Amino acid sequence: MGRVTTATVILVMVVLTALAFDFTNGFHDTGNAMAASIATGALSPKMAVTLAATLDLIGALISVKVALTITNAVIDGIQMKTGLPNPQFIGSDNGKQGTLLLMVVLAGLVGGIVWNLLTWLLGLPSSSSHALLGGLVGATIAGFGFSQVNWLGHSTEKLDGVVGKVLIPSLISPVIAFIVAAVGTRIVFSLTSKMGDKFRESRFRYGQVGAASMVALAHGTNDAQKTMGVITLALIAAGQVDVSQEISIPFWVKLSAAVAIALGTYLGGWRIMRTLGKGIVDINAPQGFAGDTSTASVILASSGLGFALSTTHVASGSIMGAGVGRKGAEVRWSVAGRMASAWAITFPAAGLVGAVMFFISNLMPQLLGATVVMAILIAVSLYIWMRSRKDPVDKHSVGKDWEAEPDAAHVAEAVPHAHH
């Protein structure tokens, strides 16, 4: 019974940590949908996050995909060809690696959360999906070995696995969104060139709210699913799910994941929203409409084609494209470059944290190891939050004009000393 109790306690830790990641995903990615609407005045900051949270909640509940999709894309051999889980990963008694898999998932989640919080502190829009996947890959390498990572997948028809589902889309998606938004902005301004500026602004604000709502809904259908998949995987690893038939996500998992991401969204990731809405380029309502429509179109099209895109990459590419599309608009390429640097290191950085967390937990008995990892996560989270209080960004300051920002090399040092 002792081992079962240990597995159950670790399972509870994994579920709580997964919901904590979902919460950070919410406030980290709110800006993807609502930054442009706040920047142009189409929505007030509080109305924007309320709308985004509501649509995130709805999106998370209406879209139910296969529970193991995300984790199976990372850890090789979790699912057999029949679609059922591999027995070697199930339960602490049936499979020797069941509890080990729980520890890998816990370490991977911590990697994702730490990177999300760090990039939030620096106001850098980076991908929560890539942080989670990077953390899981790092922890998988540490726990099961390099060969257990599903790098290329097993399909002969298409590139799958980590490379096909994560790395290649992360390079292509912002470029596509940039082009679509740039062309869309050009078309919008050419078609409305005879309109008065005030009339054009007011009309496009309505359209912008609609487009931003589509992005928020798409975010809920995409990102909450990842947490549902991770929790379901943990339940399987702990032997808590009947795997003799097709797996369905328990309702409490769907509801808790949906509420966690919606709550995070409602609290608003003002720091990142400010970078997206004001830091890259000063945009007006027609640009915001073109950017949000581009983001929604690319995300929804990619979902239909089965690509796992980062909403952050798409939204950032769209805003840059909308900036370039208007004649005379000034894109702050230094801010864009800083963001691109964060994108490039998200996957390996989160992976490194995930691997280190697993190695630390593996130095001691599993329950003690899991407890120590949780304690490290709480300590790091509190430290980052306290640092953020020295340079607060809230609903009152999120829409202020962007002033000269420090160079990328000095961002980390500047954060605690900056003043508004």
Which residues touch 249 (CB under 8 Å, ≥6 apart)? 64, 67, 228, 229, 232
Task: Give the pLDDT confidence score for residue 373 in this predicted structure.
Answer: 96
Task: Give the pLDDT confidence score for residue 411 in this predicted structure.
Answer: 38
Residue 195 resides in a domain: no
Residue 346 resides in a domain: yes
Task: Give the pLDDT confidence score for residue 3 in this predicted structure.
Answer: 43
Residue 411 resides in a domain: no
Residue 196 resides in a domain: no
Which residues touch 15 (CB under 8 Å, ≥6 apart)? 231, 234
Task: Give the pLDDT confidence score for residue 410 in this predicted structure.
Answer: 40
Task: Give the pLDDT confidence score for residue 78 in this predicted structure.
Answer: 64
Residue 315 resides in a domain: no
- Per-residue three-class SS string for 249-303: CCHHHHHHHHHHHHHHHHHCCHHHHHHHHHHCECCCHHHHHHHHHHHHHHHHHHH
Question: What's the token pair of residue 94?
Answer: 């049936």
Residues spanned by the domain of 27: 2-162+207-278+336-395
Assess contact for 296 and 56: CB atoms under 8 A. Answer: no
Residue 363 resides in a domain: yes
Q: Note the pTM of the prediction, 2 decimals.
A: 0.85
Task: Give the pLDDT confidence score for residue 335 in this predicted structure.
Answer: 83
Task: Give the pLDDT confidence score for residue 349 in this predicted structure.
Answer: 95
Residue 80 resides in a domain: yes
Residue 199 resides in a domain: no
Task: Give the pLDDT confidence score for residue 93 in this predicted structure.
Answer: 47
pLDDT averages per 10-residue partition of the chain, 420 residues: 67 95 89 82 87 89 59 65 60 58 92 94 86 92 85 71 78 87 86 76 84 86 82 82 69 91 85 79 83 85 69 87 80 83 90 96 91 96 92 73 50 42
Tally of domains in the chain: 1
